[in-house]
Structures are given as structure tokens and as C-alpha cells.
A and B are shown apart, each in its own frame.
Chain A
């Protein structure tokens, strides 16, 4: 019985230590199934080093799909250098999908779409905010959360008409003088963006 005592004490001590090993973190939700598989595999093979954290540890889990269609759509618009809108409740957004303008309402079917340069308009009650997006992706989830990831998003009133015309002319010039496919593709991209900007200002 005395031989069992150290093992018993060690188990108690390690259990207490495990309870203490997650201090002061309010943004660490419970680990999901995939994580525990990774953590277990790591601990078995490399017992001396703590396993690295994974991104799901830093993110609050998304709410599940509700049974009735919610009244508002939650929109996240993120850019590499800023989150322009995060968890904003709106009525509708119109995204510039590659296949045309797409309206997203609460209860929209789950979609993944590529975006082309164009205008994103956010409708909240009677307010409409318009941003010019440079392109990216948009995910609409079944739980009425829309994630829009773009590289640049500027409010339309900050765009200068003259610079747009100049840029368009410049890229059209480049397309005429382009020789290789790469240059042609780059010039074409420039023309697409500037024509979209032009349309945004006039339309």
C-alpha cells in the first residue's frame, strides 16, 4: 500500500497541475475534437515539449444554424490591415460576385463566391454604405453570417474621378503596347479595376 502512495500522489499532483496550466485566458474556448487528436498524438511522440496552439484556440466558435431564419444578417468585412465591419447586424448586403451583383439576405443559402472589383453596399434600415472592393472572397454561412474578405475597401466618396480616368487611359495604353502574356494579363487586370472604379463613380 505504501508503494501505491507515491503513484497516487503523483496522479493527484499532475491533475492539479493540469488544472493550473491554463491561467488568465478568457479567449480560449474548449478544444474541439480535431485539436485533442493532434494534442494526444503530439504528447505521445514528443512528451517534453508543449504542443503548439492552433487557430481554433484563438477564435470564438461560430453559432450553429438556427431553426428559423433570423431577422438580421451578421456581416464581417475584413481587410489585411483592418476589420472594417465586425459582427455588424444589417438587413442586406450586395456583393460584387464574379458572376454579377449578388444580394445576400438573412437565411441565404450557404455560398462561397469569388469577388471581382466592384461595389459592396451594406443596407441597414434606411442607411446604405457603399465600399469599393478590390476583389477577394465572400462566404455566406448557413447561420446567416457573411464573411467578406477583400484586399482593399474604400468608401466610394473617397475616390477621385480624375485619377480614375488617368489610370484607365494608362492601362489601356499598356495593353496596346504589351508583348508577353504576363504583361497583357496585368494590363487587363488594371483595366478591369479602373473600369469598375469608373462604373462605381458614375453608377
Chain B
């Protein structure tokens, strides 16, 4: 019965564990159904195999627990800043409205992602949304380009949209995020990329377990004027008096550049928060998984150990009784 349980366990634990030592050749070369035919002495090897496997799973559990703590502390640090920056984009949306369905010729999709992995599905979600926006905004006479922030989205988008990537920026979080850095970045993007509409794709941080994929749209000054004349959401823009600067178009130009840098700053902070939150929950489920694996391994280890002790006792006793006659 213990052998049957071990056979079952053997099948379950064979694949996913990463074992660094030369245990693998032994383990994989012995199918669990042949266990009974192995001479007794080699069964002790199995106990060592289990022990080593348990040690490595325990180490993995410790590492993932530590990573979760680190992510939690980083999240705490950045969460207050992200929440404070939420007021920054609201005046622009109140003035210029939110126009994700605007129809323009040159779309630029700015995808914000993380540099490091092990953070759950947020980068894949951002890439999926970016691809969706690309599809939505492609058509005759329309073109769509990507500007990518972060390694992970770059790795995914380079595979099938390499010719559409205008700019790829990595190592954003080497220094703590601040407005000056993001303003310089926004300036770079605006100088090097021709755009009618910039669509920023990021994950908004709603709570430690919830991240909402979001897209913010920033229009170029010409499109703002076009939409203001066409009426609709921006129709009231003409009723605003423009002060400062020489001409209306100059002020609008400054306004759109400022809007882009403010929206980018908030988006980058929110995405960083989402990254840390997602990493926390990924590492948490990983530690829990390692704990479950450890429990199962402990059970089979004990069963193997007891089985071998029992077998040894049986052999001794039957040997002794054979001598007695």
C-alpha cells in the first residue's frame, strides 16, 4: 500500500521540481513501477533523493517569501506617491475631455511595462491591450507605431511588430521615479516621434490585488483644434480665452506637451505600483505552492522511511524464525 502511494507520488512530483544535483538522472531513469524490483539497499537512496528535493523546495519557498517582503516594502514606498499624483491629470481631462475613439492618421501607442519579471500577468495584459489598440486603429491611410517603456513589453512586441517599434526605453526605475526624469523622457518621445494621437497603455493600481488596464489619450495641438471646430467634447474649447504666449497655437502646443508629461508621470507611477503589487501576489502564491509541495513530499518521505524500516524488520524476524526452525 505504501508502494502504491509512492508510485502515485512519483508520477506527480517527477516533472515540475527543479533539482540542481545529479539526482535527476537516478530519478528519471527509474520508473515508479519498477520500484519493487530494485534490490533493498538501493531504496535508501530514495530517502536521500526526497531529502534533497525537500531542501531545494524549502529554499525556493524562503526566496519567494523574501521577494514578497521586498515587493511589499517597495509598494508601500511608491503607493503614496502614485496616489498623490492622481490629481495631476484630472484638470486636463476636465478641460480637454477623454477621447479614446478619436479618428486620426498617426497613432502612437506608448506601452508601459516593467523591466523585471516574476510579476504575474500585468505585462502580458498591457501588450494584449496595445495589440488591440493597434488593430482598432489600423486601416487605409492610418498608421500605428509603438513606443515601449520596459524590457518585458519590448521582448513580447519585438516578436511580431518589430518594424512598428519607434522607440524602446529600458531601465526606467534604476533611479527613483521623479517628474524631471519623466519630463525629459516625454520630451524625447515628442521630439522623435510624429504623432496625431498618443495612446498611453498602463495598469492602474486599484488595490494590492486589482490592477485595471487603462489607456489615456493625448492629442496633438492640430487635432485638438480640429476636434474643437468639429464640436462634441472639445467643442467648448473655443469659448476659453487664451492668455500668455504669442499665439493660440503656441499655447496649445505647450499645453499638449505639458499634458503628455503629466499623464506619463502618473501612468509610470501607477504601473510601478501595479508591478510591485502583482509581484507580491505572485510570490505569495508561489510560496504557498512550495509549502503544499513540501507537505506532500514530507508525507511520502515518511512513508518511504517507515516502509524501509518495516521491510528491514520483517527480513530480520523472518531470518531469525527460519533459524529457530
Residues B258 and A52 in contact, CB atoms below 8 Å apart: no
Residues on the A chain within 8 Å of B89, using CB: 55
Residues A78 and B91 in contact, CB atoms below 8 Å apart: yes
A37-66: contact bitstring with B at CB < 8 Å (1 yes, 0 no)?
110011001100111111110110010000
| Complex Cα–Cα for A89 and B299 (A) | 67
Q: Which of B99, B135, B201 has the most CB of A within 10 A?
A: B99
Which residues of A from 1 to 48 have beta carbons under 8 Å from B? 32, 34-35, 37-38, 41-42, 45-46
If over half of A's interface residues share one DSSP class (helix, strand or loop), that class is named, otherwise mixed; here it is: mixed
Take A52-B215, A81-B85, A149-B88 as given contacts and tell me if A109 and B101 are in contact as well, using a CB distance cutoff of 8 Å: no
| Complex Cα–Cα for A162 and B240 (A) | 41
Q: Does B1 contact A (CB under 8 A)?
A: no
Q: Does A167 contact B (CB under 8 A)?
A: no
Which residues of B from 83 to 116 have beta carbons under 8 Å from A? 84-95, 97-101
| Complex Cα–Cα for A129 and B152 (A) | 47
| Complex Cα–Cα for A53 and B214 (A) | 4
Take A38-B100, A41-B101, A86-B87 as given contacts and tell me if A80 and B262 are in contact as well, using a CB distance cutoff of 8 Å: yes
Q: Which of B9-17, B47-55, B242-250 binds A?
A: B242-250
Interface residues on B, range: 35 or more
Residues A76 and B91 in contact, CB atoms below 8 Å apart: yes
Residues B94 and A112 in contact, CB atoms below 8 Å apart: no
What's the least CB distance linking A75 to chain B, in Å?
A: 11
What's the least CB distance linking B247 to chain A, in Å?
A: 12
What's the least CB distance linking A94 to chain B, in Å?
A: 14
Q: Does B216 contact A (CB under 8 A)?
A: yes
B233 partner, pick from A34, A50, A53, A142, beta carbons under 8 A:
A34
| Complex Cα–Cα for A45 and B215 (A) | 17
Residues A114 and B81 in contact, CB atoms below 8 Å apart: no
Q: Which of A97-105, A120-128, A182-190, A194-202 binds B?
A: A97-105
Q: Of all chain A residues, which has the CB nearest B97?
A: A34
Residues A42 and B136 in contact, CB atoms below 8 Å apart: yes
Residues B214 and A81 in contact, CB atoms below 8 Å apart: no
| Complex Cα–Cα for A171 and B318 (A) | 99
Residues B91 and A114 in contact, CB atoms below 8 Å apart: no
Interface residues on A, range: 35 or more
| Complex Cα–Cα for A150 and B101 (A) | 29
Q: Does B179 contact A (CB under 8 A)?
A: yes
| Complex Cα–Cα for A99 and B258 (A) | 19
Residues on the A chain within 8 Å of B214, using CB: 52-55, 58
| Complex Cα–Cα for A49 and B108 (A) | 21
Residues A98 and B132 in contact, CB atoms below 8 Å apart: no
Residues on the B chain within 8 Å of A83, using CB: 84, 86-87
Which residues of B from 254 to 286 have beta carbons under 8 Å from A? 254-255, 258, 262, 265
What's the least CB distance linking B136 to chain A, in Å?
A: 6
A-B contact pairs, 6 of them (CB 8 A): A52-B132, A54-B98, A76-B87, A112-B95, A147-B95, A149-B92
Question: What 16 additional pairs, Cβ within 8 angstroms, besides A80-B265, A112-B243?
Answer: A32-B233, A41-B101, A45-B136, A49-B128, A52-B215, A53-B215, A56-B93, A58-B204, A76-B87, A110-B240, A111-B243, A114-B244, A142-B239, A145-B94, A149-B258, A151-B179
Please report A residues at the B interface, Cβ cutoff 8 Å. Answer: 32, 34-35, 37-38, 41-42, 45-46, 49-56, 58-59, 62, 76, 78-83, 86, 97-99, 102, 109-116, 136-137, 139, 141-142, 145, 147, 149, 151
Please report B residues at the A interface, Cβ cutoff 8 Å. Answer: 81, 84-95, 97-101, 128-129, 132-133, 135-136, 179, 201, 204, 212-217, 232-233, 236, 239-245, 251, 254-255, 258, 262, 265
